[in-house]
Amino acid sequence: MLTSQEQEHLQQVAREIRKNIMIMLNRAGSGHPGGSLSLVEILTALYFHVINVDPHHPAWEKRDRLVLSKGHAAPVLYGVLAKKGFFPAEELYNLRKLGSILQGHPDMKLVPGVEISTGSLGQGLSVANGMALAARTDGADWRTYAVLGDGEIQEGQIWEAAMTSAHYRLGNLTAFLDYNSMQIDGRIEEVMSPLPVAEKWKAFGWEVIEIEGHDYNAIIDAVEKSRRDTERPTMIIAATVKGKGISFMEEQVDWHGKAPSAEELEQGLKDLGYQQKEEVT
């Protein structure tokens, strides 16, 4: 359990990251707010309470690794990495701009702290398996985390990778499923149902933990539990709200891949409790 002070700190960080997501997307004029906002608590909890990284030494060999397999959620990853100190927050204004390190989808060669370039869905879990296998081969105790989208698990490669994680008993791998129930063309069960989700991962040999994905204690408890199972990979199925925290974006499919206008940004900042024009922080 987090102390109330720790919890307040995470909430404060998450609020700023949501603000930054809204501002950077408004400046960029395009991008993916819905699936970025649904991940704010998960990535905040991971980067500010769980995983071991050093912003001053991004290539430190013993760091934990995080793979954002759903690469279109780049804004939340960039927001978290900037907040963590991997690069100056002002860079967020350059999202998707010519010459920026912040490409539309994460580029590991450009952004300190990005462990693998992603964007084409379905590939990140395989990469995370490779990382986890490397750590195990070296007898290293750093851990690999992967974050998948729920629509993304329609990709066949995910299930190839799911087999691999279990086959090679990657107990040093913890994955999150951002279960916000929506993809570009509608609700996941209407577009191409991956249900039942938990049963599938269990059947593939994973430890499965189902949580509410905006609850810090639940996120952190689940990660701790996943660490105790050293023989099986863990899938934390996190029920989330797409567009979480912004009144007009919540559970709205149309906000999967669209940037807020100036007026919408203003409304969004109000929703987050900001009273005036804000800068990225």
Q: What binding mask, one character per residue, do residues 67-86 give for another protein by CB under 8 A, x or -?
A: x-------------------
- Per-residue DSSP letter, 104: S
Binders of another protein: how many residues, by CB under 8 A? 35
* Binds another protein (CB under 8 A): choice among 17, 132, 177, 280: 132
Region from 114-122, 176-184, 225-233, 266-274 binding another protein, contact rule CB under 8 A: 114-122
* Binds another protein (CB under 8 A): choice among 2, 101, 133, 253: 133
Query: Should residue 131 be labelled a site residue for another protein when binding is judged by CB under 8 A?
Result: yes
The answer to whether 226 and 234 have CB atoms below 8 angstroms apart is yes
* Binds another protein (CB under 8 A): choice among 18, 19, 32, 65: 65
Dist CA 27 CA 178 (whole Å)? 26
Query: Should residue 128 be labelled a site residue for another protein when binding is judged by CB under 8 A?
Result: yes
Please say which residue, 23 or 127, places its beta carbon nearer to another protein: 127
Polymer length in residues for the chain: 281
Q: What binding mask, one character per residue, do residues 137-176 give for another protein by CB under 8 A, x or -?
A: xx-----------------xx--xx-xx--xx--------
**CA-based nearest residue to 239, from 199, 210, 197, 206:** 210
Please say which residue, 88 or 156, places its beta carbon nearer to another protein: 156
Query: Should residue 126 be labelled a site residue for another protein when binding is judged by CB under 8 A?
Result: yes
3-state secondary structure of 230: coil
* Binds another protein (CB under 8 A): choice among 120, 230, 261, 281: 120
Identify each DSSP E strand in 4-152 by its residue range: 65-68, 144-149
* Cβ burial 264-279 (10 Å sphere, 16+ → b, else e): bbbbbbebbebeeebe
Dist CA 135 CA 220 (whole Å)? 22
The answer to whether 105 and 71 have CB atoms below 8 angstroms apart is yes
User: Which whole-number Å values give the CA distances from 270 to 23, 44, 274, 278, in the listed order?
Assistant: 13, 21, 5, 11
| Shortest distance in whole angstroms from residue 51 CB to another protein | 16
Query: Should residue 95 be labelled a site residue for another protein when binding is judged by CB under 8 A?
Result: no
Rounded to 10°, the helix 216-228/4-28 angle is 100
Please say which residue, 61 or 263, places its beta carbon nearer to another protein: 61
Q: Please report, as ranges, the residues that interact with another protein according to CB under 8 A.
A: 61, 65, 67, 107-109, 115-120, 123-135, 137-138, 156-157, 160-161, 163-164, 167-168
